[in-house]
Amino acid sequence: MNRYQIPQARRGQVIGLLGGSFDPAHEGHVHITRAALKRFGLDAVWWLVTPANPLKDRGPAPMDMRLKRARDVMDHPRVTVTDIETYTGTRYTAATLDALRALYPDVTFVWLMGADNLAQFHHWQDWRGIMATTPVGVIARPGARWAARNSVAAQTYAHAKLPARASRLLGRHGAPSWCFINVAMSDASSTRIRNAGEWPRA
């Protein structure tokens, strides 16, 4: 693995990770990223553009196209768009987090997700392992608040939930810990963009 092909990080940084196919990236992704930087007190956010989503039968657009689109829409000095999972060879979040901790032992990672993902988080591979090792920041999504707050993951880890007013402590609180924040919401959707014919399908 060529070290220069993966993002750089400094000792002691707290870095948020937003994973997904970004097929395509859109203003909704930008919106929650900016909110996460501020509300969770992050030093940086990395967009992890996945080679393929294990939960989806149909493949995404080519990686080069998705990376370019993501970099075009997310222009921020503290946000890095990366396909690091291409180099780690991992496909599931738990394995990717293990690989990143091995590569960056002096960095704290915070996994970022929309509330819609928290609602079905218990279906993810080794979701308990993720919660046990990685602080999780959850950002409100349209129509998903109730399902997220009543999800298996939320109830199982109710004891580890930080109040929204303490959100900036998330990355320095250790795991398990998670925090749900309400933000002004965007209804932008990759699915809607694809269905409108504004993005090629694989």
Q: Per-residue pLDDT tens for 114-138?
A: 888 999 999 999 999 999 999 999 9
Which residues are bridge partners to 11 per DSSP? none
Burial class for 61, CB neighbours closer than 10 Å (0-12, 13-18, 19+): middle
Distance CA(73)–CA(50), nearest Å, equals 17
| Token pair recorded at residue 175 | 């795991």
| pTM of the complete model | 0.89
The residue with greater pLDDT, 57 or 155, is 155
